[in-house]
């Protein structure tokens, strides 16, 4: 399956429309939620929702297409990036400038909303500490692609099968 750019854009915009006003919600939290949505969907339905590639990095999870797409959305005035102070750090906050398209299937929306509810109140360090112990991330080396097949090794802390 090929990367679904339009669904990925809609997913980013939907997540932001639900979370942009949370003081903790920056790029790291957004990218982590994108990962957990895609891998949670894979766990339940055997395919990634957007077919994005995720890379394990020192800062957690790096979606392969995120920077390119976010810069494109910013240049089209559909997304606004503001660097803001957050305690002793600078947070990269994204604000949606358009209303997201609601083109998600009910089963997709269930995974999306479950992931947002479970994870969106974390800050960058908390969500990164949580994510690194998820079996797919734990199994990958730094700079390596995170293999979705490892979701079937998840324990109940990470698994969406019984949720």
Each residue's pLDDT tens digit, 35-88: 999 999 999 999 999 999 999 998 789 999 999 999 999 999 999 999 998 888
Lookup: tokens for 3: 């990367």
- Confidence at residue 100, expressed as pLDDT on a 0 to 100 scale: 80
- Confidence at residue 162, expressed as pLDDT on a 0 to 100 scale: 73
Length, in residues, of the chain = 163
148 has a pLDDT exceeding 80: yes
Please give the torsion angle defined by the CA atoms of residues 100, 106, 107 and 113, in that order, rounded to the nearest 10 degrees. Answer: 50
pTM for this model (two decimals): 0.95
Which residue carries 């324990």 as its tokens? 155
- Confidence at residue 142, expressed as pLDDT on a 0 to 100 scale: 95
161 has a pLDDT exceeding 90: no
Which whole-number Å values give the CA distances from 161 to 15, 36, 45, in the listed order?
Answer: 22, 13, 10
CB 54 within 8 A of CB 63: yes
1 has a pLDDT exceeding 80: no
Give the tens place of pLDDT for each residue, 92-124: 999 999 888 788 999 999 999 999 999 999 999
């Amino acid at each position: 399956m090929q990367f679904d750019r339009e669904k990925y854009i809609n997913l980013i915009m939907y997540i932001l429309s639900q979370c942009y006003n949370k003081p903790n919600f920056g790029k790291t939290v957004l990218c982590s939620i994108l990962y957990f949505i895609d891998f949670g969907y894979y766990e339940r339905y055997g395919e990634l929702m957007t077919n994005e590639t995720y890379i394990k990095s020192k800062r957690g999870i790096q979606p392969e297409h995120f920077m390119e797409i976010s810069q494109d959305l910013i240049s089209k005035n559909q997304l606004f990036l503001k660097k803001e102070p957050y305690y002793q750090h600078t947070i990269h906050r994204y604000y949606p400038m358009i209303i997201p398209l609601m083109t998600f299937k009910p089963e997709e929306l269930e995974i999306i909303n479950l992931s947002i509810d479970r994870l969106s109140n974390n800050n960058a360090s908390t969500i990164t500490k949580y994510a690194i112990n998820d079996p797919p991330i734990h199994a990958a080396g730094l700079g390596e692609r995170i293999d979705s097949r490892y979701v079937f090794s998840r324990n109940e802390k990470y698994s969406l099968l019984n949720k």
